[in-house]
Amino acid sequence: MNRLALLILPLMLSGCMVGTIAKTAVDIATLPVKVASAGVDAVTTSQAEADQKRGRELRKEEEARGRAARDMDERCRKGRPLPTDVCPASPR
At residue 78, the pLDDT reads: 93
Domain positions in the chain? 47-77
Q: Is 6's pLDDT higher than 70?
A: no
Pick from 64, 66, 69: which is nearest to 87 by CA? 69
Contact 58, 68 (CB under 8 A): no
At residue 92, the pLDDT reads: 46
Residue 45 phi/psi, 5° resolution?
Answer: -120, 130
Mean pLDDT of the chain: 81
CB-based contacts of 90: which residues, under 8 Å, 6+ apart? none
Q: Cα(63)–Cα(57) distance, rounded to whole angstroms?
A: 10
At residue 5, the pLDDT reads: 62
Q: Is 52's pLDDT higher than 70?
A: yes
Lowest mean pLDDT: which of 57-61, 67-71, 79-83, 88-92? 88-92
| Average pLDDT for 48-58 | 94
Residues 8-49 pLDDT 10s? 666 665 555 656 766 777 778 787 878 888 777 777 778 899
